[in-house]
Amino acid sequence: MRFFYPTEYKILGRLAVPVIIGQMGLTLQNLADNVMVGQHSTAELAAAGFINNLFMLALLLMVGFATGAVSQIGALYARGSKNRIVEVLRSSLYTDVAYSLLMCLCLVALYVALPYMGQPEELIPLMRPYLVIQVCSLPFMAVSTAYKQFTDSVNDTSVAMGITLIGNVWNIVFNYLLIFGRCGFPEMGIEGAAWATFSSRVLMFILAVGVFFLRPKYKEYVALWRTCRANQKDMLLLNRLGWPISIQMGMEVASFTLVAIFLGWLGTNVLAAHQVMLSITNLIFMFYLGIATAVAIRVSNHNGHDNIYGVREAAFAGWQMIFVLGVILSSVAYVCRNHIATLFTDEPAVSAIVATLILPLILYQLGDGIQTTFVNALRGLGDVKKLVLYSVIAYLIISLPLSYVLGIVLEWGAFGIWMAFPFGLSTAAILYLRRFLWITNHKQYIHEHSDKK
């Protein structure tokens, strides 16, 4: 097996750059949200951060569920089966919207439970309306996400990038207008940030649907839209693929977001510092995710042609690219550790806490890069059942309990809670890589022996 893959680097880069730009826009939108809300008040930053952490968990569960379509559409695209692609797309719209409604019910339960989660009492009146507005945007996001999986899987990643950037610009502008009450708009603070986000998600929904039906490149798919129907077989398959991915992503994100409950016990400043750190780690992760998304697409295309060597090369080329980026971005984070928090708040205590959390962030980059690459490679292959077990081990058995022990029991505070992340992510990396090597060796064995017959 080779260790240098110039062709894969080129193709992965072409697929990944639009995804990274779109993710960068999304991350900068979240950054702008936090900066503006934080400038309005530290209490609102803490409240928005807590809700965003838990809402992001629901959102990524939904996105993970929708990702089940990538392995199917990507393989069908490689084979040129346009009618089947449309059938899978239509089926995914039904399943994704149904899943989003389930997430809405879960978040309603969260609304009721907020006063009993041990958070500062003064934050509850800020959290509740912010959560309600966010919940209402989920069905719109489900539809736009289903179309994104389609456009990404047919190697047209620039579409989602454009839609995301337009929505992000809209969100940032209306954040400014509604949070601070500019240009005749009322000053709404944290609720203004929620309404700006809601309106941007409705806009992205309209753009996603419009692009599919109006873009000339998709006219063959649109022509098949009336004759190709959603069907129970595809919906069952998407559920079998989507649920394991959703649960895996949910447990990974939960290892970061549910620790907000522990951090809330330590006070508002610690919770605000955690939100700042999540913004930093999301900024780094967007580069990983862009390349890993390209890996999933490329792996699904190779798998559609039964090219197991191409599957391996795409995965390892993607990991090499992520490793180089991880070294560069970790170095930048370390150099800027004492100044990052000043972008969000003028509170010196928050800045001091953030500076101590950079070390655990750097320590988990290697594990995060490996697990991100190979979990997406497995998704591209449609091999997702084992992901749930691996995620339970890495995140629920190791990461979350270790966060509690180090941070609360041993009283290491926020630093102890964050020091659990390298252990959880490294465990996930080992398990996903091991599974990928096993499944590709198995596929190679079957392929070689079938050829001999």
| Residues 430-440 pLDDT 10s | 999 999 999 99
Question: What's the CA gap between 269 and 275, in Å, rounded?
Answer: 10
Please state, for a pLDDT cut of 90, what percent of the chain lies above it.
57
Mean pLDDT score, 382-395: 92
Residue 151 pLDDT > 50: yes
Give residue 159's pLDDT: 93
Give residue 263's pLDDT: 85
Mean pLDDT score, 27-45: 75
Average pLDDT over all residues of the chain: 89
Question: What's the CA gap between 287 and 216, in Å, rounded?
Answer: 30
Give residue 14's pLDDT: 94
Give the CA distances from residue 366 to residues 96, 126, 163, 284, 336, in Å, rounded to whole numbers and listed in that order. 32, 37, 31, 12, 20
pLDDT band (50, 70, 90) for residue 20: confident
Give residue 453's pLDDT: 45
Give residue 1's pLDDT: 57
Question: What's the CA gap between 302 and 50, in Å, rounded?
Answer: 41
pLDDT band (50, 70, 90) for residue 212: very high
Task: Tell me which of 362 and 128 has the higher pLDDT.
Answer: 362
Evaluate whether 419 touches 277 at the Cβ level (below 8 Å): no
Evaluate whether 48 touches 190 at the Cβ level (below 8 Å): yes
pLDDT band (50, 70, 90) for residue 444: low
Task: Tell me which of 123 and 360 has the higher pLDDT.
Answer: 360
Give residue 27's pLDDT: 66
Residue 312 pLDDT > 90: yes
How would you write the chain as a 3-class SS string? Answer: CCCCCHHHHHHHHHHHHHHHHHHHHHHHHHHHHHHHHHHHCHHHHHHHHHHHHHHHHHHHHHHHHHCHHHHHHHHHHHHCCHHHHHHHHHHHHHHHHHHHHHHHHHHHHHHHHHHHCCCCHHHHHHHHHHHHHHHCCHHHHHHHHHHHHHHHHCCCHHHHHHHHHHHHHHHHHHHHHHHHCCCCCCCCCHHHHHHHHHHHHHHHHHHHHHHHHHCHHHHHHHHCCCCCCCCHHHHHHHHHHHHHHHHHHHHHHHHHHCHHHHHHHCCHHHHHHHHHHHHHHHHHHHHHHHHHHHHHHHHHHHHHCCCHHHHHHHHHHHHHHHHHHHHHHHHHHHHCCCCHHHHCCCCHHHHHHHHHHHHHHHHCHHHHHHHHHHHHHHHHHCCCHHHHHHHHHHHHHHHHHHHHHHHHHCCCHHHHHHHHHHHHHHHHHHHHHHHHHHHHHHHHHHHHHHHHC
| Residues 76-115 pLDDT 10s | 999 999 999 999 999 999 999 999 999 999 998 888 888 8
Give residue 447's pLDDT: 56
Question: What's the CA gap between 85 and 91, in Å, rounded?
Answer: 10
Crossing angle of helices 6-40 and 157-180, rounded to 10°: 10
| Residues 265-284 pLDDT 10s | 888 888 888 878 887 888 88
| Residues 333-349 pLDDT 10s | 899 888 888 877 778 88
Task: Tell me which of 86 and 442 has the higher pLDDT.
Answer: 86
Tell me the whole-structure pTM to 2 decimals. Answer: 0.83
Give residue 86's pLDDT: 95
Evaluate whether 398 touches 427 at the Cβ level (below 8 Å): yes
Q: Which of 217-221, 251-255, 282-286 has the lowest mean pLDDT?
A: 251-255
Closest of 246, 210, 223, 249 to residue 98, by C-alpha? 246
Residue 199 pLDDT > 60: yes
Closest of 72, 98, 86, 97 to residue 226, by C-alpha? 86
Residue 380 pLDDT > 50: yes
Evaluate whether 10 touches 152 at the Cβ level (below 8 Å): no
Give residue 110's pLDDT: 85
Closest of 365, 378, 369 to residue 437, by C-alpha? 378
Residue 62 pLDDT > 80: yes
Question: What's the CA gap between 274 and 211, in Å, rounded?
Answer: 37
Dihedral angle of Cα 260, 266, 269, 270, to the nearest 10 degrees? -50
pLDDT band (50, 70, 90) for residue 443: low
